[in-house]
Amino acid sequence: MNYVIIYAHPNRDSLNGSILTETLAILENKQDTEVKVIDLYADKFNPSLFFDKTQLRRNLYTRDDTKDYRDTIAWADHLVFIYPIWWGRSPAILLGFIDKVFTAGFAYRTAPQAIVPQGLFKNKRATIITTQNGPVGITRLIYGDTHRILMKRQVLQFCGIKKVRFFEIGKSESMSTSRFSQIVLKLRKLFLHN
């Protein structure tokens, strides 16, 4: 199985960076698996979307500046997102990545007579690993599931990915070594039994 990890955190020496390192190690030790990493901050990815009369929105899927990203996503069977929750959502750099890469003609297509666009990622899966300062249950109780709905329904399922799972880590500011070890064990189970 081919995995691509889409990492969206500015500091590799963070909890998110440690999660990336551990996830990469788990997947690289999995039999018959290849892994690639898209590190949006290391790539200095520009999240600003631009189109005009010469660079049309409907032609975003042909842009040279996102071709390598599209090729990597097309190659992958399983997309793994790793990022923090800031202001109840993913970092802006990841939202810009989705705007510029998960485009019509690549991630989905519209037919003249169709009511709903057709997702083109039907044979892919996704795992979303997030961190946040507050406890996951309390945050969801107070603020709802807006982040999950956005990523699962409005982005991934819209693009045809039906199998989407979340691995949410709360209280990330007070992470102890023993708790992190437990999280790594859970990540190992998550990826080795899928």
Report which residue type is found at 80.
V
Position 114 scores a pLDDT of 75
Is 91 in contact with 8 (CB distance < 8 Å)? yes
Q: Report DSSP state, residue 1.
A: -
Question: Which residues of the chain, if any, have pLDDT below 50?
Answer: none
Tokens at 84, concatenated: 């923090």
Model pTM score: 0.93
Position 175 scores a pLDDT of 85
Position 56 scores a pLDDT of 64
What digits encode the pLDDT tens for the residues 65-122?
A: 999 999 999 999 999 999 999 888 899 999 999 999 999 999 999 877 778 889 999 9
The Cα–Cα gap between 131 and 5 comes to 15
Report which residue type is found at 85.
I
CATH architecture of 2-192: 3-Layer(aba) Sandwich (3.40)
Is 131 in contact with 16 (CB distance < 8 Å)? yes
Non-local (6+) Cβ contacts of 99 within 8 A are 47, 49
Helix (H) or strand (E) holding 69, with range, is helix 67-75
